[in-house]
Structure 1
């Protein structure tokens, strides 16, 4: 299938989806699974409240973990922002003309499709951990098309009450192929923890640390806005580790993580360098669930109290960093 034919079929499916308005019949946490070639794509259909009409598609076990992480409610906007930027998924939105990526505007025009009015323009974005949201490529467009082609008849069957599912009792709507397409309710799969707990293995390291009366704030956050690195085919998101001494409000460590650096391991390593330089603090304060799980075992071994709490005092530093992105 050539590029233009692929996108024509994708927009045709989207137009049918818009006419169908399935978001009127489900909530965003009423999950749908589509199994294609032994891979399950987990879908969340947005728009029930009329404020954000769209569809997000998550692939496989890791995708399910990402979907569950963004389904949680977090107290702080910065934590929600971190979780949103740290996910990998393909998303279709209905928005305004200025929100549509340039290449998709050109494709809409070339194909002869017409959309008018605010909130009535379809567009597609790819979210990928460590990278800034970006327009989808042809391979990703094919995945979205494959999912839409099975999702539309599934939602028609659900809307016509041809398949029964109890979302409130932990079920999902599911479609798979076995000689023919089968629609059924399935229990939601178990959730693999997205943020691994790291266990301390070097007990000698703890014994050699001095004691301090300091308290630290430790955070890991994505910065709003992307930046270009010629080594990659899409913009990166700035992911920064920050450590602040509570009493003085002094930043004692700040690092922009590289894409190849594993987040949890790097948090643990940077915290260890902090302990070597300043000694064991009495308390640390965190808000990011990844940071908590990365550091909690070491804190336990060191007798450091670790607290999950809002960190509004560090946000102005992140705001200043974003101003230079």
Structure 2
């Protein structure tokens, strides 16, 4: 860790904390910044007094991640999936125990002192398929660049030097030293819809009266594997036959496996082994986008619903992984 980089980061974050910008803006009021040819989108959290911080998303894919995480989901497991399936840099205010040990040591080395519950700054990197991890010097530089633009932008907004109607799909934006309101970019779907154009042998597969529950979920806890510079997140794809409550398919996906295609391949295996089901029940939006087309071809009804029986299985998996 480069002491000069981190000194600059902590100096700026202290200024951000003193500003208290989260008191003046909601987490679903987006901020955009053009910096060195790149566009960053920010969400500023903490207006309700909890989870104080901000997240930085880069480019078009980052904007898709930001929108996906900003939607409201009824199921905790879907919220967890969206959280682990995003790529962003995040600053939080938390307790001392939440701060990565390397960052605590850097604070001590640089002479920055924090006291009290919820008053310790720390920084995490989220990357799809990987477990949240401490940021490196390169990522710290990005946070510095963003804060150098974000702090004066928020000061201008707080002082009413720029007016934004967030409720009319505007965002607070800065480019080339200009602060303005700008229309939000159109929201593009994060998850690809896999359209079945070649029915192949689907028409010859017999109809069955089976019902399946299909889940794609991230598991809590990182997994250390050789070849990666950070822990990966366990991502499990499973299918349960509803009547028997039997798990008929389970796969812990590799980092390189494309999720939507893995869902489609799994469903095709179910078709070969059990025939066309009358219906499947899911809750993950990615699974819906992956399977809606082939379900239509097969005459299989697909439902979005709560899956409490799957939660019990996932909880057990997490318990044994933690041992």
TM-score, normalised via structure 1 length = 0.98
What does residue range 92-107 of structure 1 map to in structure 2 within 5 Å?
92-107=91-106
- Counterpart residue number, 1:129: 128
Provide the C-alpha distance between the structure 2 equivalents of 1:32 and 1:50, rounded to a whole number of angstroms: 20
What does residue range 183-262 of structure 1 map to in structure 2 within 5 Å?
183-262=179-258
SS at match of 1:216: strand
Q: Deviations along 1:32-73, whole A, 9 cap, x unmatched?
A: 001111211100001100011101000000000000001111
1:120 paired with 2:119, answer yes
Provide the C-alpha distance between the structure 2 equivalents of 1:74 and 1:93, rounded to a whole number of angstroms: 22
- Counterpart residue number, 1:50: 49
Runs of 5+ consecutive residues of structure 2 not aligned to the other structure: none
Provide the C-alpha distance between the structure 1 equivalents of 2:303 and 2:112, rounded to a whole number of angstroms: 53
> CA shift at 1:207, angstroms?
1.6
- Counterpart residue number, 2:300: 304
- Counterpart residue number, 2:77: 78
> CA shift at 1:201, angstroms?
2.8
SS at match of 1:14: helix
Provide the C-alpha distance between the structure 2 equivalents of 1:28 and 1:75, rounded to a whole number of angstroms: 18
Provide the C-alpha distance between the structure 2 equivalents of 1:42 and 1:50, rounded to a whole number of angstroms: 22
SS at match of 2:186: coil
Provide the C-alpha distance between the structure 2 equivalents of 1:63 and 1:200, rounded to a whole number of angstroms: 28
Q: Deviations along 1:238-262, whole A, 9 cap, x unmatched?
A: 0000100000000000000000011
Q: Deviations along 1:251-283, whole A, 9 cap, x unmatched?
A: 000000000011001100111011111100111
Q: Deviations along 1:202-233, whole A, 9 cap, x unmatched?
A: 31221221111110001100001111001100
> CA shift at 1:160, angstroms?
0.7
Provide the C-alpha distance between the structure 2 equivalents of 1:208 and 1:75, rounded to a whole number of angstroms: 38
Runs of 5+ consecutive residues of structure 1 not aligned to the other structure: none
- Counterpart residue number, 1:314: 310
RMSD: 0.8
What does residue range 17-36 of structure 1 map to in structure 2 within 5 Å?
17-36=16-35
1:139 paired with 2:107, answer no
Among 254, 260, 265, the residue aligned to 1:264: 260
- 4+ runs deviating over 4 angstroms: none
Provide the C-alpha distance between the structure 1 equivalents of 2:298 and 2:47, rounded to a whole number of angstroms: 48
> CA shift at 1:191, angstroms?
1.2
Provide the C-alpha distance between the structure 1 equivalents of 2:199 and 2:307, rounded to a whole number of angstroms: 30
Provide the C-alpha distance between the structure 1 equivalents of 2:61 and 2:132, rounded to a whole number of angstroms: 18
Among 260, 268, 274, the residue aligned to 1:278: 274
> CA shift at 1:192, angstroms?
1.4
SS at match of 1:197: coil
Provide the C-alpha distance between the structure 2 equivalents of 1:248 and 1:208, rounded to a whole number of angstroms: 26
Q: How many residues were matched structurally?
A: 321
SS at match of 2:89: strand
1:60 paired with 2:56, answer no
TM-score, normalised via structure 2 length = 0.98
Provide the C-alpha distance between the structure 2 equivalents of 1:292 and 1:161, rounded to a whole number of angstroms: 43
